[in-house]
Structure 1
Amino acid sequence: MITALENFNPVVQALFATLFTWGVTALGAAGVFLTREVNRRLLDTLLGFASGVMIAASFWSLLAPAIEMSTGLGIPGWIPAVIGFLFGGAFLYLVDRLLPHLHVREPLSAAEGIKTSWQRSVLLVLAITLHNFPEGLAVGVAFGAAASGIPEATIAGAVALAIGIGLQNFPEGLAVSAPLRREGVSRWKSFLMGQASGLVEPIAGVLGAAAVFFIQPILPYALAFAAGAMIYVCVEELIPEAQRGEHSDMATIGLMLGFAVMMALDVALG
């Protein structure tokens, strides 16, 4: 698979990879065809797993290469890493404050962002869509970096990141479709809205790959930016949601497993 990808333009590589991550989101959303009620213990464990994957990916696949690249370019490694990381978090903070959305298990009155009269289902989808953007961006930036010829960035590492993001997208798709189904929305509509939350990833992936491929000086900053955005998502949404119920221990175990899986993927393939 890696050899076949090398024959394509990095933007096309990013598109293929993020179509895969979107497909796994759809696979998770398809869980509503099997059951109306998803076991809370299982969902908390999966959300913890997703958090672990994103935390590990933020360092192993994004921050570490950004630091190495900066050092190789004669720039103190911490400067692009710190600037990009903080800007990534700040960007998600601003979008979180502006875009209308609603977190899972919250009443409609707790919707965040600019006030609207949109339906609860739309706000739920927007919440996950908001959080999927940095994931697609991270994959796109990784493929753009690999095509830049810098030794610290490889196609194998970008593929490892795409696989890790794909794995953690499964519970995210389920986290959208399952609550909708529980509230009486039809199976097909719940599935369609759940998978729609991942459609932003191919868009973000293509934008990220194109940006760093054509404007290479921003590469270390772009990698760190994606890392900061993903960490913001983890701390602001995924971890609190996984720890909210009675199964915080399983959520923690899931996080540890997710971190270990992503670390192993990146070291083994990257």
Structure 2
Amino acid sequence: MDANTVLLVFIAVGLDGLAGLAGGVLSEPWLQRRLPALVAFAAGTLLSTVFLEVLPEAVEARGEAAFAWAFASFVALALMEWALGHHHHDAEVAAGHAHGHAHPGAPTLPSALLASDALHNVGDGAAVAAAFLVSPQAGFATAFAVIVHELPQEVGDYALLRAAGWSRARSLVALAAVQLTAAVGAAGVLLGTRYLPSLQGTVLAIAGGSFLYIGAVDLLPELRRGPDSRQRVVGFLCGLLLIGGLHFAEAFAGGHG
């Protein structure tokens, strides 16, 4: 592990943190118009990153045990979301809730929302660090997928905090503090792999399972909701093509290197 890798990890984590404040920066009309395509784009990038970058690297590092870790992560995330009573990535519902539309799945306490967000960010930071330890290409793909799906998620969280009566400043400060937990996850992986090298593959497998859950269960169903289905499908295909194109370009370059 060299200094450049560590620097890249924390740059990626910092950009992820900035995405967490997007709800208080971007204009509300723009978000309402673009959120369907953005959520679909996030689903495409997450799913293509899982199957083209994260899981193959995890299997190479941990063998067939990677599938067990990914499955356990998928199930654990589902149970956690059910226990918290919060569909964490339903950003469009959350944005509607902020405009006064009731939604029975919204969390009763902002503390539950922030706790769920903190746990999620720890996992994101760990995944980014583990991917960069494998290769810059895997790191960039994973970091991009994390940042893209973080944007609609955090816009929804900001909307829910505002709907709960929190001021703009208080909501942004709380979300900024929660974003710091991603650095904790990244630092934990960077330090842990020095003493337990197999941790890298395990973290990637866990990330693969959680990304698969977020993309397939939380985000992908959004493609079938609302009248603007074309915008959603285009966004989803753009996400697939972006990560897929980068992956195959890398493979082509490697084959001719």
TM-score for the superposition, normalised by structure 2:
0.75
Quick one: structure 1 residues 210 and 59, their matched pair in 2 at CA, closer, same or farther if it must change by over 3 Å?
Answer: farther
1:22 matched to which residue of 2? 17
Cα 1:24–1:110, aligned 2, differ >3 Å: closer, same or farther?
closer
Does residue 124 of structure 2 align to residue 135 of structure 1?
yes
8 Å CA contact 1:56, 1:262 repeated in 2? yes
Structure 2 residue matching 1:246: 3-state secondary structure: coil
Maintained 8 Å contact 2:47/2:240: yes
SS in 2 for 1:110: coil
Which is helix-richer, 1 or 2? Answer: 2
Structure 1 segment 192-203 matched on structure 2, within 5 A: 192-203=173-184
In structure 1, the partner of 2:254 is none
Q: Give 3-state SS (helix, strand or coil) of 2:143's partner.
A: helix
Residues 1:179 and 1:219: Cα distance change in structure 2 (over 3 Å): closer
Residues 66, 209 of structure 1: CA spacing in aligned structure 2 closer, same or farther, 3 A cutoff? same
Residue 198 of structure 2 corresponds to 217
- Number of residues paired by the alignment? 241
Distance in 1 (alpha carbons) for counterparts of 2:31 and 2:10: 33
- For 1:135, the aligned partner's letter is D
Q: How many Å apart are 1:193 and its aligned residue?
A: 4.4
Q: 1:179 to 1:38 in 2, by over 3 A?
A: farther
Determine if the alignment matches structure 1 residue 59 to structure 2 residue 29: no
**Inter-CA distance 132–268: structure 2 relative to 1 (3 Å threshold):** farther
Deviations 1:86-138 (A, max 9, x none): 122122133224346455437464357xxxxx53x444444544544432221
Distance 1:133 1:48, change over 3 A: farther
Question: 2:232 corresponds to which letter in structure 1?
Answer: A
TM-score by length of 1: 0.72
Aligned to 1:154: 135
Report whether the alignment pairs 1:207 with 2:188: yes
After superposition, give the CA deviation of every residue in 1:175-201 in whole Å (9 maximum; x if it has no partner): 322455577754333434454553332
1:232 and 2:226 are equivalent in the alignment: no
Question: 1:233-258 CA distances to partner (integer Å, 9 max, x unpaired)?
Answer: 22232223454333333222212211
Q: How many angstroms does 1:29 deviate by?
A: 2.3
For structure 1, which segment, 131-140 or 98-107, has the greater mean C-alpha deviation from structure 2 after superposition? 98-107
Equivalent-residue separation in structure 2 for 1:92 and 1:183 (angstroms): 25
Q: Which residue of 2 aligns with 1:87?
A: 72
Over the aligned positions, Cα root-mean-square deviation in angstroms equals 3.3
Structure 2: distance between partners of 1:60 and 1:265: 10
Question: Which has the higher mean CA deviation after the structures are superposed, 51-60 or 97-106?
Answer: 97-106
AA in 2 matched with 1:134: G
Contact 2:50–2:208 (CA<8 Å) still a contact in 1? Answer: yes
Q: Which runs of 5+ in 2 are unaligned?
A: 95-101, 252-257
